[in-house]
């Protein structure tokens, strides 16, 4: 009985859809990868500047390993830099330079009027020339109590407004309005320098110059500094875009690689089944003299004829998918607002090429079995599905599974980046090993699950069990993508849920405060902490300033620079924060000292020195005074608050921890509320409200994981359905024969359904086993217990 043409068309359609979706997914994350490589923050305030001079956008460290040449390792800084204003003197001497403007930048909140609570950035009026900004009405500020506001603020010229910088709201008189440009307030230069908290320093130096001014001369006049031109000028306005680039590149590359691996597994199974379905045709070709190379060429050509249009359409659609993914990530706060979309044909072309090369490789593998049969055996080989499994496949699968299990022990014994890398390697090894061993797993599933099915349904169950056992390669092609999608989804969602729950639990356990001052704006003014200290009943006040610190760490025999979340803790930290220290204590956290979580400490001793790069890129050698366990809840690095505040773009604190002598009395609570009311956007909250705010911050990572699972899981499930339908179609002769020898139509259909239960159930159990190993290892690493957190429903909170 010859295969029906509709069977071939159905198989080709399944390969087409699976490859199209895989191409879309690889290309969409390719768009994010390109954006990470090319994106710059939009240039708004510096659009008139020929160049912007700032400190280097990345920090560097020269590393030297035994037996290798010294190498420079780099990592982006995350905060606005501080440049001495005196650095502008040499730049002004460069031929063609008309002016050099020292621009300061600091956050502001409007405290009165219709736009009360709005966040603005504050600058000196002299920096308005860098963005071609001029008052649409009124005049420039001159006196210390004068300001120019954007027209969108709703103020009028001559009106008194209250603005809050790093203290209580202050009254200023509006002398002018700006009709266009970013939401910024402009003060007299001296006032802006004072409000920034860093007199004598600038966030950047804007160079106004003629076109004949040479950029090389500017660089020569600014040794040790970076001269930005073109679109790179935006990085000086918003360093958060440059800071997120490495993470976005790593994410896009990782997910793109995972998508490609899933596509190889699914499409490989489909093409393998398709080749077996047409084995009689290929056997005839071998019998009449076709060479193995000719048979392989035919299989590859047919696969590429399906893959080419699928990859072309998928590549075109991937650009729209990447743009939509970029927009969703910005809306959810995964990407900073200034992270622009870089769109070009490159991701589409790359995903097309990758899909075609991947299809070529899996088609060659699928053709090996049907092309290797000797002509004399060719027709006999088509009588039934081959039941044997190639020895190389068994050996390779066993080695990969053994490697995956060996890394399980490593992930349980280590911590930090080494544990994360070993966990990722374990999952990859196990899944590829399952793909190689899938025929054996299918045979085992037929024996175990098939036995259960045969007991429940004696006639159809025995038929289903026999069918599943006799065609293990066919069943293996179906169960592999099932195991893949279940393992991937559970590891991704359960892993994120476990980390989120552990983070929330550690943050709650580490917080010993009774009340917290938080802000709905850019932060809590430093004056708030001082005001709270005078409240009767308050015994400890700790301002907390968050930042990101870069630290060199040793990974697999090499030194890499890694970015870590850090907190600057003010006075009384040991009374308001329980970091669960294992060495030292937080009382010694002063000057240039540091406390490290156990995940990044790397065996550091108390009193030893660690090299750190602060948020603005400043390099320090910090003395280790404590090692603690609650790194998820507090961040991996704790520093003195004053040290952090001196090297960040904003002088505002993220929150203030307040502890009372015993339970806070009603009088103390009312006094705290009164202090908070002095500052716009600041309020005192209890532990429950503060914990809920922390949970909301963590959900952006959960959203991204759900997007990834939905995307990869979607096209894998399409492959599962197609593979299953093709597997059933390949049994048409067998099912017809069963019907002719006396089996009823209901029995035939029942056996097919139960065979699906056996095969899909085996795949599900295999996927659950892989997911269990990975999630248990992750839970042990994160929480110290082998119980992972259950995943939440996708897109539901």
Q: What is the DSSP string of 442-471?
A: HHHHHHHHHHHHHHHSHHHHHHHHHHHHHT
Distance from C-alpha of 462 to C-alpha of 738, rounded to nearest angstrom: 13
Report pLDDT for 584: 93
Q: What is the pLDDT of residues 560-581, one digit of tens each?
A: 888 898 999 998 999 999 999 9
Name, in order, each residue with C-beta under 8 angstroms of 654's C-beta and a sequence gap of 6 or more.
Answer: 523, 524, 544, 545, 546
Report pLDDT for 99: 93
CA 375 to each of CA 285, 290, 364: distance values in angstroms, whole numbers, following the listed order:
9, 9, 20
Q: Which of 32-36, 518-522, 592-596, 743-747 has the lowest mean pLDDT?
A: 743-747
Report pLDDT for 3: 46
Report pLDDT for 796: 46
Residue 754 has pLDDT above 80, yes or no: yes
Report pLDDT for 388: 60
Q: Which residues are registered as beta bridge partners of 621? A: 611
Q: What is the DSSP string of 283-348?
A: HHHHHTT--HHHHHHHHHHHHHHHHHHHHHHHHHHHHHHHHHHHHHHHHTTSS-TT------SHHH
% of the chain surpassing 90 pLDDT: 29
Question: Which among 128, 756, 192 is positioned nearest to 449, based on CA atoms?
Answer: 756
CA 302 to each of CA 307, 315, 581: distance values in angstroms, whole numbers, following the listed order:
9, 20, 63
Q: What does the pLDDT average to over 634-662?
A: 91
The tokens for 773 are: 């190993």
Residue 45 has pLDDT above 60, yes or no: yes
Report pLDDT for 606: 94
Residue 795 has pLDDT above 50, yes or no: no
What's the burial of 681, exposed, middle or buried (CB within 10 Å: 0-12/13-18/19+)?
buried
Mean per-residue pLDDT of the chain:
82
Rounded to the nearest 10 degrees, what angle do helices 745-783 and 687-729 cross at?
150
Residue 142 has pLDDT above 90, yes or no: yes
Exposure class string for 724-755: b at 16+ Cβ within 10 A, else e: bbbbbbbbeebbeebeeeebeeebbebbbebb
Give residue 9's pLDDT band: very low, low, confident or very high (50, 70, 90): low
Residue 296 has pLDDT above 90, yes or no: no
Residue 522 has pLDDT above 80, yes or no: yes
Distance from C-alpha of 394 to C-alpha of 433, rounded to nearest angstrom: 9
Report pLDDT for 74: 84
Q: What is the pLDDT of residues 225-237, one digit of tens each?
A: 889 998 888 888 8
Which one has a higher pLDDT value, 786 or 509?
Answer: 509
Q: Are 649 and 513 in contact (CB under 8 A)?
A: no
Q: Which of 124-133, 188-197, 242-251, 729-738 has the lowest mean pLDDT?
A: 729-738
Report pLDDT for 515: 93
Which one has a higher pLDDT value, 17 or 194?
Answer: 194
CA 561 to each of CA 147, 238, 356, 540, 610: distance values in angstroms, whole numbers, following the listed order:
43, 22, 36, 36, 13
Distance from C-alpha of 280 to C-alpha of 1, rounded to nearest angstrom: 10
Q: What is the DSSP string of 680-728?
A: TTEEEE-HHHHHHHHHHHHHHHHHHHHHHHHHHHHHHHHHHHHHHHHHH
Name, in order, each residue with C-beta under 8 angstroms of 290's C-beta and a sequence gap of 6 or more.
Answer: none
Whole-model pTM: value is 0.77
Q: What is the pLDDT of residues 611-645, one digit of tens each?
A: 999 988 889 999 999 999 998 889 899 999 999 99
Distance from C-alpha of 513 to C-alpha of 46, rounded to nearest angstrom: 43
Q: What does the pLDDT average to over 648-673?
A: 91
Give residue 375's pLDDT band: very low, low, confident or very high (50, 70, 90): low
Name, in order, each residue with C-beta under 8 angstroms of 441's C-beta and a sequence gap of 6 or more.
Answer: 434, 476, 479, 762, 766
Q: What is the pLDDT of residues 537-567, one digit of tens each?
A: 999 999 999 999 999 987 666 788 888 989 9
| Secondary structure of residue 120 in the 3-state scheme | strand
Distance from C-alpha of 579 to C-alpha of 512, rounded to nearest angstrom: 10
Question: Which among 349, 348, 364, 350 is positioned nearest to 264, based on CA atoms?
Answer: 364
Q: How many CA atoms lie within 13 A of 120 on its CB side?
A: 27
Report pLDDT for 67: 62
Residue 268 has pLDDT above 60, yes or no: yes
**Strongest mean pLDDT among 587-591, 646-650, 775-779:** 587-591
- The torsion angles phi and psi of 147, rounded to 5 degrees, stand at -150, 150
Give residue 280's pLDDT band: very low, low, confident or very high (50, 70, 90): low
Report pLDDT for 733: 67
% of the chain surpassing 70 pLDDT: 86
Give residue 125's pLDDT band: very low, low, confident or very high (50, 70, 90): very high
Q: What is the pLDDT of residues 581-605, one digit of tens each?
A: 999 999 999 999 999 998 888 888 9
Report pLDDT for 208: 93
Q: Which of 61-70, 88-97, 360-369 has the lowest mean pLDDT?
A: 61-70
Q: What does the pLDDT average to over 765-779?
A: 85
Q: Are 215 and 207 in contact (CB under 8 A)?
A: no
Q: Are 162 and 110 in contact (CB under 8 A)?
A: yes
Report pLDDT for 461: 78
Report pLDDT for 417: 44
Q: Are 44 and 52 in contact (CB under 8 A)?
A: no
Q: Are 598 and 631 in contact (CB under 8 A)?
A: yes
Q: What is the pLDDT of residues 692-730, one digit of tens each?
A: 776 666 666 666 677 777 777 776 777 677 766 666 666
CA 215 to each of CA 87, 100, 218, 222, 225: distance values in angstroms, whole numbers, following the listed order:
16, 14, 5, 11, 13
Residue 290 has pLDDT above 70, yes or no: yes
Q: What is the pLDDT of residues 453-486, one digit of tens each?
A: 888 888 887 877 877 777 666 677 778 778 877 8
CA 408 to each of CA 165, 397, 417, 480: distance values in angstroms, whole numbers, following the listed order:
51, 17, 14, 21
CA 273 to each of CA 1, 15, 464, 474, 558: distance values in angstroms, whole numbers, following the listed order:
17, 11, 19, 6, 44
Q: What is the pLDDT of residues 333-363, one digit of tens each?
A: 778 877 888 888 999 999 899 888 888 888 8
Q: What is the pLDDT of residues 240-256, one digit of tens each?
A: 777 777 778 877 877 77
Report pLDDT for 596: 95
Q: What does the pLDDT average to over 510-518?
A: 93
């Amino acid at each position: 009985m010859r295969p029906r043409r509709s069977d071939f068309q159905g198989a080709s359609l399944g390969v087409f859809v699976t490859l199209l979706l895989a191409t879309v997914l690889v290309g969409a994350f390719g768009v994010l990868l390109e954006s990470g490589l090319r994106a710059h923050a939009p240039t708004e305030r510096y659009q008139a500047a020929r160049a912007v001079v700032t400190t280097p956008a990345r920090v560097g460290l020269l590393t030297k390993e035994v037996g290798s040449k010294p190498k420079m390792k780099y990592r982006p800084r995350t905060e606005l830099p501080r440049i001495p204003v005196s650095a502008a003197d040499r730049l002004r001497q460069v031929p063609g330079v008309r002016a050099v403007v020292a621009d300061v930048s600091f956050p502001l909140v409007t405290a009165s009027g219709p736009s009360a609570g709005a966040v603005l950035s504050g600058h000196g009026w002299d920096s308005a020339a860098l963005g071609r900004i001029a008052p649409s009405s009124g005049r420039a500020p001159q006196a210390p109590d004068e300001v120019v506001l954007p027209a969108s603020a709703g103020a009028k010229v001559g009106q008194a407004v209250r603005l809050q910088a790093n203290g209580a709201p202050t009254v200023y008189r509006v002398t002018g309005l700006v009709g266009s440009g970013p939401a910024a307030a402009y003060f007299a230069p001296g006032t802006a320098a004072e409000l920034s908290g860093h007199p004598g320093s600038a966030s950047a130096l804007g160079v106004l110059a003629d076109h004949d001014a040479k950029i090389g001369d500017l660089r020569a006049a600014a040794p040790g500094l970076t001269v930005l031109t073109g679109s790179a000028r935006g990085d000086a306005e918003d360093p958060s875009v440059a800071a997120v680039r490495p993470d976005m590149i790593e994410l896009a590359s990782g997910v793109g690689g995972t998508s490609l691996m899933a596509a190889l597994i699914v499409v490989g199974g489909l093409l393998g089944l398709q080749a077996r379905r047409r084995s009689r045709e290929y056997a005839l070709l071998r019998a009449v003299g076709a060479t193995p190379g000719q048979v392989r060429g035919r299989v590859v050509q047919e696969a590429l004829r399906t893959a080419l249009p699928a990859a072309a359409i998928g590549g075109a659609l991937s650009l729209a998918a990447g743009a939509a993914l970029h927009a969703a990530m910005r809306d959810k706060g995964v990407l900073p607002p200034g992270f622009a979309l870089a769109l070009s044909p490159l991701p589409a072309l790359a995903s097309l090429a990758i899909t075609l090369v991947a299809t070529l490789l899996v088609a060659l593998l699928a053709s090996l079995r049907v092309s290797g049969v000797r002509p004399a055996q060719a027709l006999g080989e088509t009588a039934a599905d081959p039941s044997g499994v190639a020895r190389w496949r068994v050996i390779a699968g066993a080695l990969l599974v053994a490697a995956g299990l060996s890394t399980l022990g490593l992930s349980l014994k280590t911590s930090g980046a080494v544990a994360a890398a070993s966990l990722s390697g374990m999952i990859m090894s196990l899944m590829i090993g399952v793909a190689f061993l899938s025929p054996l797993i299918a045979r085992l599933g037929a024996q175990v699950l098939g036995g259960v099915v045969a007991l429940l349904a004696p006639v159809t169950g025995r038929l289903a069990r026999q069918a599943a056992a006799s065609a293990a390669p066919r069943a293996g092609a179906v169960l592999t993508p099932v195991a893949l999608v279940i393992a991937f989804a559970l590891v991704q969602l359960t892993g994120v849920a476990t980390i989120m729950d552990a983070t929330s639990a550690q943050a709650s356990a580490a917080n010993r405060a009774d009340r917290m001052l938080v802000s709905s704006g850019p932060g809590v003014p430093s004056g708030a902490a001082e005001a709270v200290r005078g409240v009767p009943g308050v015994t400890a006040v700790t301002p907390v300033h968050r930042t990101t610190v870069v630290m060199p760490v040793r990974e697999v025999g090499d030194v890499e620079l890694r970015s870590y979340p850090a907190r600057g803790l003010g006075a009384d930290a040991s009374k308001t924060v329980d970091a669960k220290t294992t060495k030292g204590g937080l009382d010694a956290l002063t000057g240039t000292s540091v406390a490290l979580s156990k995940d990044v400490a790397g065996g550091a001793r108390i009193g030893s020195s660690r090299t750190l790069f602060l948020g603005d890129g400043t390099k320090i050698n910090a003395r280790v005074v404590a090692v603690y366990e609650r790194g998820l809840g507090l961040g991996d690095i704790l520093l003195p608050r004053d040290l952090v505040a001196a090297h960040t773009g904003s002088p505002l604190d993220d929150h203030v921890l307040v502890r009372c002598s015993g339970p806070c009395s009603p009088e103390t609570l009312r006094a705290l509320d009164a202090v908070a009311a002095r500052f716009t956007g600041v309020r005192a909250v209890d532990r429950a409200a503060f914990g809920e705010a922390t949970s909301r911050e963590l959900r952006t990572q959960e959203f991204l994981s759900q997007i990834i699972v939905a995307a990869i899981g979607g096209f894998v499930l399409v492959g599962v359905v197609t593979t299953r339908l093709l597997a059933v179609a390949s049994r048409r002769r067998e099912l017809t024969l069963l019907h002719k020898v006396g089996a009823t139509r209901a029995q035939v259909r029942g056996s097919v359904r139960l065979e699906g239960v056996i095969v899909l159930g085996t795949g599900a159990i295999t996927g659950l086993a892989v997911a269990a190993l990975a999630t248990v290892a992750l839970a042990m690493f994160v929480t110290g217990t082998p119980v992972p957190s259950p995943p939440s429903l996708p897109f539901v909170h």
